[in-house]
Amino acid sequence: MVRRSAAVALGEAADRAAVPALVNVLADRDAGVRREAAKALGFIKDGLATERLIGALSDSDANVRFYAAYALGEIKDARASDELLRALRDAEWNVRNQAAWSLREIGGSSATVGVIAALRDAATDGAIVGWLLKHGDVAEAVTRLTAALKGADASTRERVVRVLGHMGPPAVGALVASLGDSDIVVRKAAIDGLGAIGERKVAGELRAFAAREKDPALRHAAETVADRVAPKPLPASHWSFDGAEPGKDVTGKGSDGKITGCQPSEGRVGRALEFGGKGCIELGKPAALPTANQPITVMAWIKARGPDGVVVARGGAFCGYSLYIKDGVPKFGMRRTADDDAAVIVAGPVPVVGDWVHLAGVIAEDHLELYVNGRLAGARKTAGPLPGNCGQGMEIGFDVSNSAVEICDHFDGAIDEVKVFQEALAAEAIAREAGF
């Protein structure tokens, strides 16, 4: 106890004259004395103690090893780097953690190289390595980690990929590339890493991976992460035309329609409705679908028999939009106000009569888009979304009053899965909704 107390007092005094005596008692038979001596040397911060503190990293007592690592970090002597790297494999977490802190304090590219090389050993604490590298030059670390993947065995690749997951957005490219690794464990580590980073833009890569991955557990993991980082948009209204009430809005938000002259038929998904002659669905002015200054996406599956017809229309000549076909060609148009000289219309490149086709029209902040079978078919600049709520109602399969665009014609054919989103969906989301 006297020797411990003496070591504590010398540390508090922080006088370099005490360094030789404290270095000598790093070999004391009592672990508590060795511990207090290492701690005191950390307070004094004299490089004369470096070599003996390096030796103390192998002490039989975990607390002595901990304070030896601490003192080396305070002294910041690069000669300690190799032994501190070995301490990243220490059996005690607090020693590993303190060694990482000290390596960060010492700094330098050589430490980064050594830390990454240490990942070849399964005993190296990958999470602590990730913390250490993240508090240094991240760009350099990602470059070196990516290089370390080449030629490494699967076990090392997994550890490297898990460390990349700690590196944040700069590591996204390397993690996406690792989704193609031949080893299933490495691919799972890449999924976990992308999930930890949580960037919305990786959702498409994860969903594409899930589509080609053979292992069901990995597919589920990728889809789960994709849905978390980029939740699937939910429609504000959705008419599936299935069930006993085909005109019902299945979102439960009350945008139910009155069906006139339509008959159920086999659909693209479940059941559809056949339109022709006087058939249509009148929806009125759905409270769940305001249009004023509102980005909107409207979509549907269609199987047209005739060349002209409205798929979905909202509003009229003073203000509104319409998704329709004319001369067999799909179109999406909008008129913002009665003062507009003409509607803004986007047309598809080819006729779509005869087969099931997925159409989607998007009103974005400054442009319109038309998608055909999940692919962008055209876009036009606009002055903005509709500035007001449409005075006229909404219909499926017809435009009851006058048109915001070119036609009011009854649709001739089948319509299925009509959805309206109160946002401008991105291309990837539209393709997913269409099943492409």
pLDDT tens digit string along 365-383? Answer: 999 999 999 999 999 999 9
339 band by pLDDT with thresholds 50, 70 and 90: confident
Apex CA 11: angle with CA 10 and CA 14, to 5°? 90
Examine the pLDDT at 330 and tell me if it is beyond 90: yes
Radius of gyration of the chain (CA): 33
Enter the tokens of residue 332. Answer: 């999406």
**CATH number attached to the domain at 237-434:** 2.60.120.200
Confidence (pLDDT) at 340: 78
Crossing angle between the packed helical segments 154-164 and 184-197, to the nearest 10 degrees: 0
Q: How many angstroms separate the CA atoms of 91 and 165, rounded?
A: 24
How many C-beta atoms lie closer than 10 Å to residue 233's C-beta? Answer: 18
Judging by beta carbons within 10 Å of its beta carbon (0-12, 13-18, 19+), is residue 378 exposed, middle or buried? middle
435 band by pLDDT with thresholds 50, 70 and 90: confident
Question: What amino acid occupies position 337?
Answer: T
Largest CA distance in the chain: 104
Question: Torsion angle of alpha carbons 177, 181, 184, 188, nearest 10°?
Answer: -20
The per-residue b/e assignment along 342-357, b for 16 or more CB within 10 angstroms, e otherwise, is ebbbbbbeeebbeebb
278 band by pLDDT with thresholds 50, 70 and 90: confident
Look-up of token digits 């990293």: 57
Confidence (pLDDT) at 44: 97
Confidence (pLDDT) at 129: 93
209 band by pLDDT with thresholds 50, 70 and 90: very high
Examine the pLDDT at 99 and tell me if it is beyond 90: yes
How many C-beta atoms lie closer than 10 Å to residue 240's C-beta? Answer: 19
CA atoms within 13 A on the CB side of 426: 10
Question: What amino acid occupies position 137?
Answer: D
- Between these two residues, 47 and 436, which has the higher pLDDT value? 47
Q: Where are the domains of the chain?
A: 2-229, 237-434
**2-229 fold:** Leucine-rich Repeat Variant (1.25.10)
Give the single-character DSSP code of 134. Answer: H
**What's the chain's average pLDDT?**
94
Integer CA distances (angstroms), 265 to 191, 271, 371, in order: 42, 6, 25
